[in-house]
Structure 1
């Protein structure tokens, strides 16, 4: 297979997370869109910078995860090392978040914090480039003695991604880049085509090596990523009890699969890396397989929120149509990984379906996880919470699932994943190609990219209108394309004072503009009922409410006193808009006893309609912000008139 050498004919790129060797579209700098601090995403970016980064660092210090590096540097015995074997990766994800944040806007204090942390990590690196605190040192198991669950390559993959962020943010000679390159060279020596025949149980090194190869101009890293991908799927990883080869995506070669399966985060990271490898090696068959897998996974194994992963037992994808609301896992990290996969497919194809799913996932998974103050998080994101739970204590939460955001978890992959996504978010809002600029996600702010200067004024997703003022355009073309979301049936576009014209949903609207032009995009967000596919057993006979890109939910705190969440039945008529949520017609049903000792045996829909009611639904991303609550996204439908008993 012929490998293209990334970046040999392209200009040096700064602060762009994904830079394919060839692509239909190009991403922009993480600082290209300066989001307004009072906008939906601008607020979250500001909180991430001011609170979340420090919060993550404090917890890692408190729990001794950073001290692990210090102890390795001092050659101490680590029989009682703190944290899981993958805790190193959280340090690296935090460094990546800091690197993107510094690329977005310089900050002297953060720069000092970043450099100090990098120095502690660098001191723990072995002479041959290996870097890890859980294996290979005094009192520990040998290196690579547990490829299935040891996470050594996974950890170093996140190290590489942090270094890519630092290099692309204008620091190609930084110490972190030096450390990462030594680690990558070590991996190539240890696991090259003629060396150790193995893969990591948790995919991640593939996407990291591919992007590091691009960023550092090292063809060897891309080749090593390709080698890892080719080895996976042949059942070579030892399988722990209660798991399977599918859990590791080691049951079927990637190019032969028809749908994503197994552990959701592993599968999505692997798929993102596979796209990078396929694009940079010109492997059209692999790309076609990945597009097919994405399409089938979205069509059969993805929740209304964009969440992926329906099984708690293995944090994994269930079978087709296995999408129960109350047992949805929808790990926050899977949402981040889904964005990584979809973004790479978008850059290659330009297909509007990919940014459509990214929008859904951003608003209903990524935005749902952190608390407004950026110091507590959801790990899992169920669509039905039966028990309100208890207020989270200031401690480590041992359970990933629950009805409250927790400040930290025993497995705290999600806080750092949210942090690195928010710090680099602007890079996923806009794309460039030879014809002009494409606005993909709508956020208020100033955009400077590729010779374009635009001012975006909007309260989206809480308002319908996006006003785009064109201040400057490149000399070689001024074609502006606007993504029209697939839900926006009544969308329209107006240029200046001209009458608005309809814009087709699920496509791009093209506008030729010049400096001084004002374009107004209107995306009416009338609430609407959404009905699940009849093949999804877990939510048959229910409906959800969606408003614009926001999935809404019914919370117990919004119900009248004494009304149980289970008693509410939605009347199947269009809801009315209210603030950023909706009001829907409902009936309150009191279930009559069946007379059977088991909770079975009664008549279908046996119950007494006590009264009609109107219920308030709020954006799912805000659930549990007012304290522990019970919640559901899919609400049972009221029986037709005359059917109630």
Structure 2
């Protein structure tokens, strides 16, 4: 067996990133950069988050794996623990997601702080795996009679998907393949049982599809690509039972190439879409890209919350109907935002639409950022846009963030996503007039230029999104003639300007419409992009009945909210509305806040005792009084204690 050091040396030559195109993938003209090639500065919001993730969130997750019983679930199968099984049937996946987080943290920082834990955890997993390759502690330790019997609910393939992703990440980042061999044995068992030409069977919870394609990319074995394609092709053939939840819940009601309408359990739909898009990236089948583009439009134009969250119904954790986006009863599961990040990144690799990166930015800075507190150890599962003062806690929708959940899918999912976030910053493309580096996420970082772009480092200096100035510098080399750096211009950034060669010019309407400003190689060093970060009021589509007559406040990519803690005791969030011309004033930035607080003129009603009253058309009662209050970034809400909150503020 080759040494760990030798394998680690090999790993440095690989693309250390999720969704790395395989050697036989169709050329899409766009290649991601590895986590080890993009070094996000710790002073940036995302860089600070990565540091906190490594120092607090990952260790917290490791601790909770013991406290919640996940590790004992493995030990009890082989007689090393007498504790009863704890958690849901898919609890094994919590461990695999944490291992993936550790792997990407190794790729990001080169840390080996978790090596001893990895050794112990992987050795335990290997001891539990059966000679056949089977590995699922709930089945093995509780219901061995249910092995591959209830694919709709027992999550065997879903758990395997997370095992594969963890194993591939660990081999890429650290050059160790011990977990990879475990994952391959289990995947081979599934292939022998449910592969092409064998028994019909698909997972009730998608996730394995994108994992198998990643395994194909990593190993070069076509077997895993064929298995993923087979599982995708079987959807819509009445394979899963229609018991209670219905076929739509499982995305099994129609064949994938006809499924333009997002439906059912939101996380499952979005994970499936990531796998389908991965399949397109490998095979180039245009029908897959067509249906994914159509569904992406519907998801993000009709079913996405302004924060970048998804899932409007607590029942079934599901998408609602088009434009069904209640603020106070939003389910908006953290894992749904993460699943969409993964899917939208793959759509970005496959397409030319600037909106993909815009959406990812919205998700990262708002819905996902709000899901974890400033300590990195308390989390939201559900992320509503409004918290009423009398709202009571529910199991997965508590009034304040919790250190863990019985269904603990979200915290380790956050940990693995933030550890790999460097992979979503930049890509390299072969444009008609030469190679280009595309900067999708606007943050302070250093990017090691790949061979196609000469040599050296591109440094991005900025305080964005607090400040709209973004400066570029090239050190240790030069970009080759004919190449360029393309910097994304967000859709809201009308009036952007660019300083190059000692002169300032406006970013043209044409450039803004295409979504990028193109800076030629000889003008990159010292170029400065200025994005206007003016506060703006946003109204929803008129079909969103839940927030008709209300507006939300945004500044750049940051969404704001009003918290009860920022109002006087005798003024309630639910009694506030905006005057005809509200004045918005920026306050000085402070601490680690993602953006400055915004002081806003507000009016306050007198609460009425009656539930209903006679309508008086065209009249508005005079407010009790006017006041000023601070609106703060939505991502920070709840950090000062539980209480009422709202994003959408009525205008009447």
Q: Normalising by the residue count of structure 2, what TM-score does the alignment of the two structures yield?
A: 0.91
Matches within 5 A, 1:155-194: 155-171=159-175, 173-194=176-197
Which stretch shifts more, 585-594 or 193-202? Answer: 585-594
**Partners of 2:472 and 2:524 within 8 A in 1:** no
Name the stretch that deviates more: 557-566 or 230-239. Answer: 230-239
Contact 1:469 1:517 (C-alpha < 8 Å) held by counterparts: yes
1:29 match: 34
* Equivalent residue runs for 1:356-367 within 5 Å: 356-367=358-369
Are the structure 2 counterparts of residues 572 and 417 from structure 1 closer, same or farther at C-alpha, using a change threshold of 3 Å?
Answer: farther
In 1, are the aligned partners of 2:247 and 2:253 still within 8 Å (CA)? yes
- Any idea what SS the aligned residue of 1:510 has? strand
**C-alpha contact (below 8 Å) 1:438/1:482 kept by paired residues:** yes
Contact 2:497–2:506 (CA under 8 A) maintained in structure 1: yes
Query: Quick one: distance in 2 between partners of 1:389 and 1:327?
Result: 10
Alignment of structure 1 residues 132-147 onto 2, 5 Å: 132-137=136-141, 140-147=144-151
- Structure 1 pair 136/561, CA: closer, same or farther in 2 (3 Å)? closer
Deviation at 1:590, TM superposition (A): 1.3
* Number of the residue aligned with 2:315: 313
How far apart are residue 282 of structure 1 and its match? Answer: 2.1
Confirm or deny: 8 A CA contact 1:547 1:581 kept in the other structure. Answer: no
Q: Hey, what does 1:399 align to over in structure 2?
A: 395
Question: Which of 172, 196, 199 is residue 199 of structure 2 equivalent to?
Answer: 196
CA separation in 1, counterparts of 2:173 and 2:473? Answer: 28
Give distance in 2, aligned partners of 1:206 and 1:600: 55
**2:418 aligned with 1:422, yes or no?**
yes
Residues 16-165 of structure 1: matches in 2 within 5 Å?
A: 16-20=17-21, 21-22=25-26, 23-74=28-79, 80-137=84-141, 140-165=144-169
Question: What is the 5 A alignment of 1:155-554?
Answer: 155-171=159-175, 173-241=176-244, 243-387=245-389, 399-434=395-430, 435-450=435-450, 451-471=455-475, 472-475=477-480, 477-503=482-508, 504-505=511-512, 507-514=515-522, 517-554=525-562
- Give the Cα–Cα distance (whole angstroms) in 1 for the partners of residues 366 and 357 of structure 2: 14
What are the superposed Cα offsets for residues 260-308 of structure 1, whole Å, 9 maximum, x if unpaired? Answer: 1110000000000001112212210111011110011111111111111
The answer to whether the 8 Å contact 1:430/1:440 transfers is yes
Kept after mapping to 1: 8 A contact 2:200/2:239: no
Structure 2 residue aligned with 1:14: 15
2:597 corresponds to 1:581: yes
SS of corresponding position for 1:590: coil
For residues 141 and 85 of structure 1, what CA distance do their matches in structure 2 show? 14
Return the offset for 1:387.
3.0
Contact 1:53 1:94 in 2 (8 A): yes
Residues 24 and 350, structure 1, Cα contact 8 Å, conserved in 2: no
Partner-residue secondary structure (3-state), 2:470: strand
Answer yes or no: is the 8 Å Cα contact 1:487–1:505 preserved in 2.
Answer: no
Whole-angstrom CA distance in 2 between matches of 1:110 and 1:350:
39
1:165 Cα deviation after fit:
0.8
Offset, 1:187: 1.3
Gaps of 5+ in 1: 1-10, 391-396, 639-645
Contact 2:485-2:524 at 8 Å conserved across structures: no
Aligned to 2:574: 566
Match of residue 613, structure 1, among 618, 622, 627: 627
User: How much does 1:599 deviate?
Assistant: 3.2
Single out whichever of 606-615 and 282-291 deviates more from structure 2: 606-615
Aligned residue for 2:605, secondary structure, equals strand
Cα RMSD of the aligned pairs, angstroms, is 2.1
Shifted more, 363-372 versus 397-406: the winner is 397-406
CA 234–75 in structure 1, closer or farther in 2 if over 3 Å, else same = farther
Distance 2:359 2:208 in 1: 25
Is the 1:192–1:227 contact (alpha carbons within 8 Å) kept by the matching residues of 2? Answer: yes
Deviation at 1:34, TM superposition (A): 1.8
Q: How far 1:615 moved relative to its partner?
A: 2.5
Alpha-carbon spacing, 1:228–1:556, altered in 2? closer, same or farther (3 Å): same
Per-residue CA deviation, residues 200-224 of structure 1 (Å, 9 max, x unaligned), is 1001111111111111111010100
Q: Distance in 1 between matches of 2:403 and 2:417?
A: 18
* In structure 2, C-alpha distance between the alignment counterparts of 1:116 and 1:524, rounded to whole Å: 51
Change in CA separation of 1:626 and 1:592 when aligned onto 2, cut-off 3 Å: closer
How big is each residue's C-alpha offset from its partner over 1:544-565, in whole Å with a ceiling of 9 and x where there is no partner? 0011000100111111221011
What is the alpha-carbon distance in structure 2 between the residues aligned to residue 387 and residue 57 of structure 1?
A: 34
Distance 1:511 1:572 in 2: 42
CA distance in 2, matches of 1:514, 1:136: 62
* TM-superposed deviation, 1:476: 6.6
Which structure 2 segments of 5+ residues have no match?
Answer: 1-11, 589-595
Aligned positions, number = 616
**Residue 305 of structure 1: SS of its match in structure 2?**
coil
Bigger Cα displacement from structure 2, 120-129 vs 95-104: 120-129
Match of 2:612 in 1: 599
1:374-428 deviation per Cα after TM superposition (whole angstroms, max 9, x unaligned): 10111111000003779xxxxxx97111231110011111111110111010100
Deviation (angstroms), 1:455: 1.5
Q: Do the aligned partners of 2:32 and 2:427 also contact (CA within 8 Å) in 1?
A: yes
1:409 counterpart SS class: coil
Tell me by how many angstroms 1:189 deviates.
Answer: 0.7
Q: Secondary structure at the match of 2:551?
A: strand
- Give the whole-Å Cα distance in 2 for the aligned partners of 1:566 and 1:272: 39
**Is residue 65–residue 82 contact of structure 1 (8 Å, CA) maintained in 2?**
yes
Identify the structure with the greater helix proportion: 2
Retained in 2: the 8 A contact 1:24–1:349?
A: no
